[in-house]
Structure 1
Amino acid sequence: MSSNIALWNSFSKQYPQQDDASINKDAHYIIEWIESHGISFENYSLLDIGCGTGAFSIPLAQKKAHITALDISYDMLKIVHDKSVECDVGAFITLQHDSWSTFSRAQTFDIVLASMTPAISSTYDIDCMLQATKSLGIFVGWKRYENNTLLDLLLLAHNAPEHYSNRSVEVKEFLHTLEKASIAYNVHYFPTTWKRAYTYEEAKNYAYKQLLNRQIFPQEEKIDAILHDIMVDNRIVSENKSIKGVVLFSKCALLKEFSLVC
């Protein structure tokens, strides 16, 4: 666990924060889609698994949900704390430093959310998420990861073009588990794009972290060659395109009601 903590703490320095334009856009789009089903978050308990820098924890706390923000990274949680103070929603957020694999299974929440997180990377992780859910669950994952211009070059150079995933389960696998458990759901797919601009050193750090996270040994000469080749005006820009899916599932008897009172 300590090695994972160190890795994700290092990611936090470059990880997009809640007020990042692309993160903000996707999170608000997803929240609005959920609310279009008549869902209100106010006064309900909500577990945000792998909360990262608070892309969902902060806006949902602003809607007066009582958030438990769970993450393996101290530094990620520090960002959530600072942002919650800045947005005056600290009273609605409880920080929980833990991994999903060791988090207490005795606790349940009205709503459980997991978005683009490697914390949900197996059928067992999904089952634990379902067990923690009293009424409603929200899962956001890949339908199809199309490209990341910088990462694609790095993976190809290291002869590992198949390692595109962030190791979280895909939407189709999540839906398969729901269907096996006879849990009702609704799913919505949408395209998303975002760009990241790095200095040379930031891009090199990014390259090492991404490769190591995929258990690929970084080859410095290949990384340097790629970065020098694509650098423009002392900046390296990576463009990302994918199709995400958001799943809203209900453990209540009447799916059409999406009621929090089962």
Structure 2
Amino acid sequence: MKLPKITDKDLLNISQTNLDSGNSLRQRFNWNHQSIRWFLASEDTTNFYQKVLETIHPYIENLSSILDIGCGIGGFSIAFAKSGFYVTAIDSSMIAMEHLRNKIQEINLQNIKIFPVSLEDFQFFQKYDVIFGSYIMGLMEEKMIDRVLEYTTHYLILLLPYRRIKNDFCIEELYRELKIDTDYLKQSNYLDLIKILDRKNISYHIKILHSDFGQPFQTKEEGLDFINHYFPILKKYDDEVMKWLDRKCILRDGKYYLPNQKESVIMIIEKKGRI
């Protein structure tokens, strides 16, 4: 079947969507009620959080306070609090923070404080043993690294993309099938941060993490909604996307499941360590 032709206007819309949702240093995750439901369903299937905590445990086991930047709905914040840390969690999304607040009350966690604010607007009133951030691309700037390191006593720990080309859920393959330029999937990754740290002579440790972080769906039509929500794929390609989902989804526990081998880098940056 011949694919619809992409016009210059289409490419401009794709590019702008990519800048808004994936390639901007000031990236904000687009939380809404549906994306929260998707994320919660995905969290139930993954060992991602456990793997991250196990990897950083030797560095943080004797520490007590953590600031979780861009915490979203609080997967890591809650995991840290359950492990006994005193957690401060911040995120600019009001809907994500409301969800986290309800979750904290539901499980009666007393050692976590939340603030609905961005890192740029957050007022530091104390230092933290660890400052943590997962896929916070706004920290890939020298001035932000300097600011955050000023308020940690031990480590800044960041989870960052491994790849230059975003390939969650094998999305790069779909772009190629649709003849959409994969340049629109380009993203900052850990190498950008390494350039800053090397230039400033700041020491760090690198850990590569691979984990399955797939997405379950009730129907394949829901899968189509998911792809169209997170990736700048044009509505005119719905038929081709559905065929791609037919090939990629597997049945698991009575649901469709779109696998996703998530590739991440854990950057453990020392406050006082110098090369």
Q: Per the shorter chain, which TM-score range?
A: 0.7 to 0.9
> Counterpart in 2 of 1:8?
31
Q: Are 1:28 and 2:43 matched, yes or no?
A: no
Q: Are 1:220 and 2:240 matched, yes or no?
A: no
Q: Distance in 2 between matches of 1:159 and 1:235?
A: 30
Q: Distance in 1 between matches of 2:62 and 2:216?
A: 36
What's the CA shift for 1:245?
1.4
**Within 5 Å, which residues of 2 pair with 1:102-181?**
102-104=121-123, 108-144=127-163, 147-149=167-169, 151-152=171-172, 155-156=175-176, 157=178, 159-164=180-185, 167=187, 169-181=188-200
**Which has the higher mean CA deviation after the structures are superposed, 95-104 or 7-16?**
7-16
**Which has the higher mean CA deviation after the structures are superposed, 219-228 or 232-241?**
232-241
User: How many equivalent residue pairs?
Assistant: 241
Change (3 A) 1:150 1:8: same
**Amino acid in the other structure paired with 2:172:** D
Q: Distance in 1 between matches of 2:156 and 2:32?
A: 27
What's the CA shift for 1:235?
6.4
CA-atom RMSD in angstroms: 3.3
Q: Distance in 2 between matches of 1:115 and 1:17?
A: 19
> Counterpart in 1 of 2:16?
none
Q: Distance in 2 between matches of 1:66 and 1:204?
A: 40
**Within 5 Å, which residues of 2 pair with 1:43-122?**
44=65, 46-89=66-109, 91-104=110-123, 108-122=127-141
Secondary structure of the corresponding residue to residue 176 of structure 1: helix
Structure with more helix by fraction = 2
What's the CA shift for 1:97?
0.9
Secondary structure of the corresponding residue to residue 75 of structure 1: helix
Contact 1:50 1:119 in 2 (8 A): no
**Scaled by the length of structure 1, what TM-score is found?**
0.75
Contact 2:68 2:131 in 1 (8 A): yes
Who wins on radius of gyration, i.e. which is larger? Answer: 2
Over 4 Å off, 4+ runs = 3-6, 232-236
**Which has the higher mean CA deviation after the structures are superposed, 141-150 or 107-116?**
141-150
Secondary structure of the corresponding residue to residue 136 of structure 2: coil
What's the CA shift for 1:141?
1.1
Secondary structure of the corresponding residue to residue 163 of structure 1: helix
Contact 1:140 1:247 in 2 (8 A): yes
Match of 1:195 among 183, 189, 214: 214
Contact 1:116 1:141 in 2 (8 A): yes
Q: Distance in 2 between matches of 1:154 and 1:122?
A: 31
Q: Distance in 2 between matches of 1:6 and 1:27?
A: 18
Q: Are 1:230 and 2:245 matched, yes or no?
A: yes
Contact 1:48 1:68 in 2 (8 A): yes
Secondary structure of the corresponding residue to residue 184 of structure 2: coil
What's the CA shift for 1:138?
0.7
Q: Distance in 2 between matches of 1:94 and 1:251?
A: 24
Gaps of 5+ in 2: 1-20, 22-26
Change (3 A) 1:120 1:158: farther
What's the CA shift for 1:13?
3.1
Q: Are 1:207 and 2:223 matched, yes or no?
A: no
**Amino acid in the other structure paired with 1:184:** S
